[in-house]
Amino acid sequence: MIKRKHNDVFLELEKAQKLCGIVAELVLFILIVGIFLIPPPEIPRLQILGIFAFVLIFTVVYYNLPRLYLNPRLALLPDFVYLTGSAFAVMGLGKYGSFLLIYLYLLIMIDAYIFNLRQLLIVTVVSIILLNVVSFFSWRGSGGVPFIILIQTYSLIAIATVSRIFASFSLSMRDQKLQLENLNKKIIADKKESLDLIDSLGDGIISCDKDGKIFLHNKSAIELLDTKDLSGRYLTDVFSLYDEDRIAIDLYKIFDEKSPKLIRSDLFFKKKNNWYRFYIHLNPVYQGREMITLIILFRDITREKMLEERSTEFVAVASHEMRTPLAQIEGYLFLALKQLEGVEPNIIENVKCAHNSAVHLINLTNDILTVYNIDGKRINVALKKVNFGVVISTIIKSFETKAKEKHIEVSFKNKISKDEAIVTDESKIVQILTNLIQNAVKFTDKGWVRVTLSEDPRNLIVDVSDSGIGIESSARSHIFEKFYRMENWETRKTQGTGLGLYIVKNLTERLGGKVECVLNKKIGTTFRVHFPKEYKNEEDIKKASEEELKNFIGSF
Amino acid sequence: MSKKGRVLVVDDDSGLCQLYKLTLEQEGYEVFTANQGEEGLSRAVKLKPELILLDIMMPMIHGLNVLDILKATPETKDIKIIVSSALSDDETKNKAKEFGASDYIVKSQATMAEVIARIGGILEKK
């Protein structure tokens, strides 16, 4: 496109030059013939003939070599030659109103016409009239011809030169203007193309400057935000987001230079009194340290989130609803076992298997529910003073029967003061330690399980060690992951969900502690759990004291 | 067989009632059942058992209300009550404790053997 337009300019230039050339040749031809036919009285003939010959040769050479006449830089050259040549001729002939003066006038007017320089045309016409009037009177007075001819000639040369410069300048300007116009058209087309692309996106896009003023948006943004127009409005007016607790969020304050890109899927937008969950992708553009633009990409994920929540909720409700029938199955099998005692040893064995499976199923349901609560961050903590010595003793007692069955020794060593208690959640502690001791008993076929309670200045430390099968170092980094089981699924000997240690880890961390698998040199496995002596989670403490206050008031 | 004590089981699930009745009778308790809160209240007043195993989610009267009424009535306020429910959230547990329940059992989280042990433990203390 641009190239073709560019050529048009050159064509126009070429046309102009050609026309000038033809006129020049024609006029020169007439002049030469004229001089030879009617020789003026005092003419240095040879001199003028020399000039004409030079101009003629130049014209023929110039207009027959496209390399010359198509070069814009040389556009002024022929005019210079003709003007100078004409000027010499005029002075040499010393005659006013000669062909040469007319030729000069013609040259200027043709220029002005071709290059559409109307102002120049007017100036030229006016100056020609003025010059002629002045020279007519001056000539009459002085009686001398050459001086006034000289003035006229030089003035005309000056006007012609200026007109030529203007013409050439205007041509290059026009060329540049055309180029710019084309470029602009292309930019507009490109911009429209990308805007169309942005518009066709299902996600909303908003670009704002550093003050939050919107300068770019797409159709989806308007639809998602349920508004008419966005450009020029402020982000805070049209796009106010809230967190789960319905507290307004300032998008400009939730990211910093260290984390340039930010993705949030936990924010809400209010539209016609309904809350919509939005996925937000914030992309700030920095110039140096200062943020100049904030690009926001967003989409409505209300439906997806609802489906996701529904499916997890289904798992929770299903496992919850399974509890009552499971309890009955387990209970009746337990009852059957009691009633069968002393009779039919074969049947007892069968019922025992069924009872074990029922217990396993119950544990599975409970684990799934706990994991559901952990993953949904729904673990509530009920704080009170907990005596670890007492808790551990009770748990160990509940494993006595199992330990006796497997002929392993389960012992507890308390290295701290018997009365020492720390503030934490007792039921969670029980759940954590039961899980660990249960695992130890499960994976130990002979030998012992030892539980040790010790302390350092900041923590209570519980070690659960066993002389069991141990954990390979390759498995060590995975054991706290959800659904990880050390054994092969098909060849496993022990029952388990692969959720136990995941629960242990998450509950311990919820209470501000940590759990680790300590490397045992010789035999078995040791799990070490740290519980902070000083409970740190402010929110839990606040809630606990509120609860206490409520109970206190309630007791009156 | 000498009776260890009298236990009233209040649960809208008749299968579970029957199970508790059979199991606890096997353990040597005298067991009565009630299938809903109101019946549970009247039987508690009439029979004055040593212990009540009380469900929470029941039609008509909510288990926690039954608990509250029992503890507020002079004739029944000394009866030990174990709440047994499928609800395992801390809020319900705390409420039950607050209203004067001696223990809280999450159905199926505690096996039958554990339920028996807890009932035994509470009645022994007395």
| Cβ atoms of A533 and A458 closer than 8 Å | yes
Residue keyed to tokens 């539209």: A271
For residues B86 and B57, is the Cβ–Cβ distance under 8 A? Answer: yes
Strand order in the sheet with A248-249: A214-217, A204-209, A290-300, A274-287, A262-271, A241-242, A248-249
Q: Do A326 and B112 lie within an 8 Å CB cutoff?
A: no
| Beta-bridge partners for B103 | B82
The answer to whether the Cβ–Cβ distance between A369 and B88 falls below 8 Å is yes
Strand pairing report for B6-10 and B51-54: parallel
- Where in the sequence is the domain holding A313, given as residue range(s)? 306-374
Q: Other C-beta atoms within 10 Å of A330: how many?
A: 24
Same domain flag for A56 and A82? yes
d(CA A451, CA A229): 68
| Res. B95 pLDDT band, cuts 50 70 90 | confident
In this structure, the answer to whether residues A390 and A436 fall within a common structural domain is yes
Cα separation, A234 vs A218, whole angstroms: 15
Domain containing A441 — which CATH number?
Answer: 3.30.565.10
Q: How many CA atoms lie within 13 A of A48 on its CB side?
A: 22
Residues 6+ apart with CB under 8 A from B45: B73, B75, B76
Label residues A28-43 b or e (16+ Cβ within 10 Å = b). beebbeebeeeeeeee
Residue A553 covered by a domain: no
**Residues on B contacting A at a C-beta cutoff of 8 Å:** 13, 15-16, 19-20, 22-23, 26, 86, 88-91, 93-94, 98, 106-109, 111-113
| A329 and A290, same domain (yes or no) | no
- Residue B8 is predicted with a pLDDT of 94
CA–CA–CA angle A255, A260, A263 (5° rounding): 70
Both A424 and A441 in a single domain?
Answer: yes
Q: What's the number of domains chain A is made of?
A: 4
Do the domain assignments include residue A554? no
Same domain, A229 and A170: no
Q: Are residues A86 and A27 in the same domain?
A: yes
Nearest CA in chain B to A338: B26
In this structure, CATH architecture of domain B6-125: 3-Layer(aba) Sandwich (3.40)
Residue A454 and residue A397 share a domain: yes
- B41–chain A nearest CA distance, Å: 23
Q: Which are the contacts of A114, defined by CB distance < 8 A and separation ≥ 6?
A: A15, A16, A19, A167
How are the residues of chain A apportioned to helix, strand and coil, as percentages rounded to the nearest 5?
Answer: 60, 15, 25
CB atoms B108 and A335 under 8 Å: no
Determine how many CB atoms are found less than 10 A away from the CB of residue B37: 24
Same domain membership, residue A536 and residue A400: yes
Residue B8, SS3 per DSSP: strand
Collect all residues of chain A within an 8 Å Cβ-Cβ radius of residue B109: 323, 362, 366
**Alpha-carbon span B104 to B84, nearest angstrom:** 6
Phi-psi region of B52 (alpha: psi -120 to 50; beta: other; left: phi over 0): beta
**B37-47 and B63-72 are packed helices; what angle lies between their axes, rounded to 10 degrees?**
30
In this structure, the number of other CB atoms found within 10 A of the CB of residue B44 comes to 24
Domain end: A343, A374, A405, which one?
A: A374
The closest CB to that of B109, out of A335, A366, A551, belongs to: A366
Cβ neighbours for A459, distance < 8 A, ≥ 6 positions apart: A513, A530, A531, A532, A533
Contacts of A382 in chain B (CB under 8 A): 90, 93-94
Residue A192 falls within a domain, yes or no?
Answer: no
A161's CB contacts (< 8 A; 6+ apart) are A79, A80, A83
Q: Please indicate, yes or no, whether residues A171 and A231 belong to a single structural domain of this protein.
A: no
In this structure, what token pair is assigned to residue A228?
């008419």
Residue-level pLDDT at A53:
79
The angle that helices A2-37 and A76-93 make with each other, rounded to 10 degrees, is 20
Q: Is residue A198 included in any domain, yes or no?
A: no
* Identity of the amino acid at A473: S
Q: Note whether A143 and A282 are same-domain residues.
A: no
Give the span between the Cα atoms of B99 and B82, in whole angstroms. 11
Residue A497 C-alpha, separation from nearest chain B C-alpha, in angstroms = 16
Q: Does A485 fall in a domain? A: yes
In a domain, A197, yes or no: no
| Complete DSSP assignment for A71-109 | -GGGTHHHHHHHHHHHHHHHHHHT-TT-HHHHHHHHHHH
Could B111 and A326 be called an inter-chain contact, meaning their C-beta atoms sit closer than 8 Å?
no
Q: Distances in Å between the alpha carbon of A357 and those of A172, A257, A330, A389?
A: 94, 55, 9, 32
Complex ipTM above 0.90?
no
A555, part of any domain: no
Given a contact cutoff of 8 angstroms between Cβ atoms, the answer to whether A320 and B86 are in contact is yes
C-beta separation of B114 from B25 below 8 A: no
Closest approach of chain B CAs to the CA of A239, in angstroms?
37
Please indicate whether, in this complex, the C-beta atoms of A338 and B90 are within 8 angstroms of each other. Answer: no
Which residues of chain A are within 8 Å of residue B111 when distances are taken between CB atoms?
330, 334, 359, 362
Dist. CA A187–CA A183, nearest whole Å: 6
pLDDT of residue A463: 93
End-to-end CA distance of chain B: 21
Asked if A53 and A165 sit in the same domain, the reply is yes
Are A142 and A61 within one domain?
Answer: yes
Q: A87 CB contacts (<8 Å, ≥6 apart)?
A: A153, A154, A157
Q: Which residues of B touch A320 (CB under 8 A)?
A: 86
Pairing between β-strand A514-518 and β-strand A459-466 as defined by DSSP bridges: unpaired
Return d(Cα A235, Cα A206) in angstroms, integer: 9
Measure CA A267 to chain center. 19
- Measured between beta carbons, the chain B residues lying within 8 angstroms of A321 are 86
Residues in chain A: 556
Chain A hits for B16, Cβ within 8 Å? 324, 327-328, 331
Residue spans of chain A under pLDDT 70: 1-48, 69-76, 78-80, 82-171, 255-260, 485-497, 520-521, 545-556
Distance CA A73, CA A13 (A): 12
Q: What percent of chain A has pLDDT over 70?
A: 67
Going by C-alpha positions, the residue among A475, A432, A427, A426 that lies closest to residue A451 is A432
Note whether residue A195 is domain-resident: no
